[in-house]
A and B are shown apart, each in its own frame.
Chain A
Amino acid sequence: MKPRYVPERQSDFGVPRCSSSFVNHFPHHLIVTFCYGFSALCGLISFFSISITISSPFIFSICITMAVHSSAILLLQLFFYFLVASAASRSNEIAGGVRIWPLPASVTHGGHRRLYVAKDFRLNTQGSNFSDASGILQEGFSRLLDVVHAAHVVDANLTRLGSSALLLGIHIVVSSPSDELQYGVDESYTLSVPAPTPGKPAYAYLQARTVYGALHGLQTFSQLCSFNFESRVIEVRKVPWNIIDQPRFSYRGLLIDTSRHYQPLPVIKKVIDSMAYAKLNVLHWHIVDTQSFPLEIPSFPKLWLGAYSKQERYTIADATEIVRYAQRRGVSVLAEVDVPGHALSWGVGYPALWPSKDCKQPLDVSNEFTFKVIDGILSDFSKIFKYRFVHLGGDEVNTTCWTVTPHIRNWLRKQGMKESDAYKYFVLQAQKIALSHGYELVNWEETFNDFGSELSRKTVVHNWLGTGVAPEVVAAGLRCIVSNQDSWYLDHIDTSWEQFYTNEPLKNITDPQHQKLVIGGEVCMWGENIDGSNIEQTIWPRAAAAAERLWTPYDNLAKDPNQVFARLTHFRCLLNQRGINAAPVSGLGRSAPWGPGSCYVQ
């Protein structure tokens, strides 16, 4: 799962191209003049972006004028025009002008009526079975108020607007009393916002099985809110709304890597915040790797000597805080210890884990101490990481050190093992230890490819290499998480958001019983070139494209990603408003904006 080398794009010096922001503000002839001199390629790009972002016929006529001038590329452009125009009309059928990301399973809304969010917008939980003793729901409600107020100062004279147009609060009814967040927790909800009725105070109504469904409902509600610049209030437009929603997959993950670069606590918390906005629900924490071991392990207190520096470490309290913080946002934390291959840093504190001082990876398979340390780590994990699964890695194991180090070579001979047997032995031993601590298992796909039939039946195989393994995994009766690197590796900055959007986890899996074994997917933010300065802009907005693929019912997903460009752009600008550094949508990963312009077209 190490990323292949991707050269950094020289995006900082991008050449401005004809854009729809110009179209917004410049009169006809200027646009034509501006666009006229550009190459055929630029013409196509500009034409394309105009067509999908601006739907008014007025603008289209401009573009046709432009195309007439560039007679050499006229036919090509018209071809694209019709392609895109027809796509745009389909887009309206699917999203119906709705700006919610990810798109809910079912949405209906009204036309031009609106409600104004009252100054003391209230939470009402009457009739709910959920007591909210720990305040999860109350906190979620407070965060809702924070994010909808983040964009502008609300300074309204609401009395002027009339009481019948007021939305007084949200009534949330949760049927399950439990606040346990576990794999497969019911995340469904229904949300309705009524139309104004004279003389009757209006409340939004949110119903969910669990508090985590309710949190998703609050996220959706926050996206219905917008600031009205004339009346200076938060309003919900196009009432009444009726939304019925639930996720397509129960595992919707994002991987972060704190070994290649340490990520400070506030950075991780902000990543979790942003995950909740996109309804992602699993933070896969790739804690340690070859380069550094930042986490405190009380059972083996020298392990974090493998950290980069004293300051680049996580205490047990930090890890507990991350899990707590995530859980209160409906996000589970999947912890990973990647054995035996990606574990060189372990030996800084315990050199006995290295095959030898000159050959430090994989972990010494012949030493019982190795498995004692793994047992200690997983024992400590089990007190912090309460998610059903633990990730044991198992990828990219180069066994050369085992064959060149004499004492291991002897051990192999004595056991009658080849290196490949030892690799299997190691992985299966680690699985047994994890099972003994009550965990089910996740392993990278090499373990399945090499000895799939011997893996514990409680294994979830984590795909990353290619697209082909998921059908084989589920045919073998094991569960699978999809993360094929050609589409869902965020560190591949040359992978476009369209590729993220169109990557289908159930590709080539038709049997419904098999489909159920694909528990979801995950986008991976490997940390070789990622630190506290650029992690958010590399994750977003492309992770959001995958988040919709994992949340929204298949039939509601756009077949052509261009249909969702405007809605995704809207979500990206929403992330920016909330202080998340999501990069421009057009352009590849974390590219700088190519020139001046509106967030909504870049």
Chain B
Amino acid sequence: MFKFHIFFALLIPSALALHSPSGSNDSLPYLWPLPSDFTSGNATLSVDPQLSLAVAGNGGNSAIVKAAFDRYRGIIFKHTSGVSIFEQIWGRRRTFVYDISELKIIVHSDSEELQLGVDESYTLFVSKKDAQSIIGEATIEAPTVYGALRGLETFSQLCTFNYETKDVQIYQAPWYIKDSPRFSYRGLLIDTSRHFLPVDVIKHIIESMSYAKLNVLHWHMVDEESFPLEVPSYPNLWKGAYTKHERYTIEDAYDIVTFAKMRGINVMAEVDVPGHAESWGVGYPDLWPSPSCKEPLDVTKNFTFDLISGILTDLRKIFPFELFHLGGDEVNTDCWETVPHVKQWLVDQNMTTKDAYKYFVLRAQELAISKNWTPVNWEETFVNFPEGLNPSTIVHNWLRGGICPKAVAHGFRCIFSDQGVWYLDHLDVPWDRAYRADPLEGVSDFSQQKLIIGGEACMWGETADASNVQQTIWPRAATAAERLWSKNETVSGNITVSVLPRLSYFRCLLNRRGVEAAPVKNFYARRPPTGPGSCYDQ
């Protein structure tokens, strides 16, 4: 059998300096996104592989906290897991006590409700045990379990495996971190209509979102190309799926929502009407204006709105998030003009096609509001009929910059997703352009700034499937994540010096956690590394 102790004897002289990769400092445990306030020292602390959890506060016993602690233990100690005999011998031979053997998590609220604006703030304190101090070791304190999750993520990023001593260490201790997000809505869109994404892949995406402290998965479920979701009230709808294998049951959707909630992530469902809905008619051809002109949905029929109402009723049972996305973008009304019965109806109602578009969107909004949902709509709805929209509407920008300033001037709330910077399917947007984007650009009034609830990176699925979706999302979605979490000042100065090394580090961290984040420095997204080299340099 393999004699481990020989190796330990030999390893002692190996406390040897490796040259650090250019542009990064090995000893600095980079944090992404950067916390809003922190101080650090110059001590190095060791972390016990048997790290235990102590909880306190009204919410301390939450299953969400316990499950998260177990997840992060797996992440932090992945180099020391699975070789128990090694660990045993190691432990026996070791004489000193670990500096950090317990993580204390204090959660004040026992509510696990996850809604827009839930308090995600936390403080994290890491220091050596001290006879004078009653607070020692590592402590996370947060008003809610979701703040505690964010604190756990930060704690995991402080932990680094030391290859010489073979244990996990925290450098630059003591750490005092006081952190809270700049925006309450920090989203990522996935598109399961252009390509079906298996449930496992969606969960993997959600897991990776939590590493970057993103908190809303915008699930663009259906579109022209396919209708993969089961809708019990209208069971023919998912006949619009690509194949019978490429579908989500109601239970699958619920499973995804639950999985996300355990990670502090809301799922916002989207049903994009009336424009992006051709696949609906595979199961219900009446929804098409005619068999030869299939989009937008037939505005004339009550059946169309009954069906939307049915979808919304079914989805309400699965998606507890208060926001629901009704789409409303890119509506080409040609079919309404060319199909006789629709054309006649327009004449009868004395409507132009533009009026009918507005009528459709507003009627869908009413249905959503009646089911206790806050409607989100793409910006075209606001651009075309700002006066008609329900005041509770959240305008989702995408086409161009400058929309959010106008929307908030009208009193609407707004989500920033300018396609020139935050559309991940635009492969020619390098990391620095995405990073420089600011959702508050052009809004100086403080009360108006508050109406911009955040932003979202959009991973449209035309050329992204299970094989490449993660490498297209990451690392650029991380740039949006930091802009949405950290103070605006992180963007100041020369970001190639001040931000890039930290982003590279985070990208490698994602790789080390099994997330297929692409090289940062390539101009085009999801390109392979240009040649051999360190992850931290590419």
Contact = CB atoms under 8 A, between A and B. Distances in A.
Interface of A: 8, 12-14, 21, 24-25, 27, 29, 150-153, 155, 226-227, 229, 232, 259-262, 264-267, 270, 291-292, 296, 298-299, 301-302, 304-305, 307-313, 315-318, 320-321, 324-325, 383-384, 527-534, 536-538, 573, 576-579, 581-584, 590, 592-600, 602
B86 interface: yes
13 contacts: A8-B527, A153-B252, A229-B247, A261-B535, A266-B512, A292-B532, A304-B163, A309-B20, A313-B163, A325-B82, A533-B470, A583-B468, A598-B242
A583 B468 CA distance: 8
Contact of A264 (B82, B512, B534, B536): B512
Given A299-B10, A321-B83, A579-B200, A592 B463 contact: yes
Given A8-B527, A309-B26, A320-B2, A150 B200 contact: yes
Given A321-B82, A321-B83, A598 B196 contact: yes
A529 B524 contact: no
Nearest to A30: B292
A602 B226 CA distance: 15
Contact of B536 (A29, A153, A309, A595): A309
Contact of B534 (A305, A309, A384, A529): A309
A173 to B, nearest CB: 29
B36 interface: no
Contacts of B18: 305, 307, 309-310
B531 A582 contact: no
Nearest to B90: A317
Interface in B4-57: 4, 6-7, 10-11, 13-14, 16, 18, 20-21, 24, 26
B426 to A, nearest CB: 11
Contacts of B511: 264, 267, 531-533
Contacts of A530: 528-529
Given A264-B512, A315-B79, A528 B519 contact: no
B313 interface: no
A108 B461 CA distance: 39
B291 interface: yes
Nearest to A380: B7
A384 B2 contact: yes
A390 to B, nearest CB: 16
A593 B2 contact: no
Given A301-B14, A321-B83, A324-B82, A310 B466 contact: no
B79 A599 contact: no
A376 to B, nearest CB: 10
A600 B198 contact: no
B118 to A, nearest CB: 26
A598 B255 CA distance: 23
- Between B24, B161, B524, B532, the greatest number of chain A beta carbons within 10 A of the residue's beta carbon is seen for B532
A529 B244 contact: no
Nearest to A572: B467
A65 to B, nearest CB: 17
Contacts of B14: 301-302
A261 B536 CA distance: 11
Interface in B491-538: 508, 511-514, 516-519, 524, 526-538
A537 B468 CA distance: 8
Contact of A315 (B166, B243, B249): B166
A592 B226 CA distance: 19
A596 B461 contact: yes
A383 B83 contact: no
A260 B248 CA distance: 40
B463 A12 contact: yes
Nearest first, the 5 A-B pairs at minimum CB distance are A532-B511, A598-B242, A308-B534, A576-B466, A153-B251
B371 interface: no
Given A25-B282, A309-B534, A600 B243 contact: yes
Query: How many B residues touch the partner, as a band?
Result: 35 or more
B26 A310 contact: yes
B508 A529 contact: no
A533 B516 contact: yes
A309 B83 contact: no
Given A150-B199, A533-B516, A581 B466 contact: yes
A312 B536 CA distance: 9
Interface centre among A8, A24, A310, by most B CB within 10 Å?
A310
Given A24-B243, A261-B532, A532-B511, 9 more contacts: A21-B242, A152-B199, A259-B532, A298-B7, A308-B533, A308-B536, A312-B534, A316-B7, A533-B528
A534 B195 contact: no
Nearest to A300: B10
Contacts of A12: 427, 463, 524, 526
A305 B18 CA distance: 6
B78 interface: yes
Contacts of B26: 309-311
B462 A596 contact: yes
Given A315-B79, A320-B83, A310 B519 contact: no
B194 interface: yes
Contacts of B538: 531
Contacts of A577: 198, 200
B457 to A, nearest CB: 17
Which has the most chain A C-beta neighbours within 10 Å: B513, B514, B530, B537? Answer: B514
Contact of A532 (B427, B531, B535): B535
Given A21-B242, A301-B10, A317 B166 contact: yes
Kindly name the residue among B16, B204, B279, B466 whose own CB sees the greatest number of chain A CB atoms within 10 A.
B466
Contact of B514 (A266, A384, A590): A266
B467 A584 contact: yes
A570 to B, nearest CB: 9
A298 B10 contact: yes
A16 B439 CA distance: 34
A602 B243 CA distance: 13
A307 B10 CA distance: 18
A8 B196 contact: no
B260 interface: no
A593 B80 contact: no
Instruction: Point out which of A307, A313, A532, A538 has the most chain B C-beta atoms below 10 A from its C-beta.
Output: A532
B201 interface: yes
B92 interface: no
B516 A265 contact: no
Contacts of A592: 463-465, 467-468, 526
B78 A151 contact: no
B246 interface: yes
B225 interface: yes
A139 to B, nearest CB: 12
B94 interface: no
Interface string B466-493: 1110110000000000000000000000
Contacts of B195: 593, 596-597, 599
Nearest to A264: B512
A597 B279 CA distance: 13
A296 B163 contact: yes
Contacts of B467: 536-537, 576, 581-584, 590, 592-593
B510 to A, nearest CB: 8
Contacts of A602: 465
Given A301-B13, A311-B26, A529-B529, A317 B79 contact: yes
A232 to B, nearest CB: 7
B93 interface: no
A318 B463 contact: no
Given A309-B536, A528-B532, A531-B538, A573 B245 contact: yes
Contacts of B317: none
B528 A599 contact: no
A302 B16 contact: yes
Contacts of B255: 153
Contacts of A150: 198-200
Contact of B529 (A13, A313, A316, A531): A531
Contacts of A528: 531-532
Nearest to B525: A12
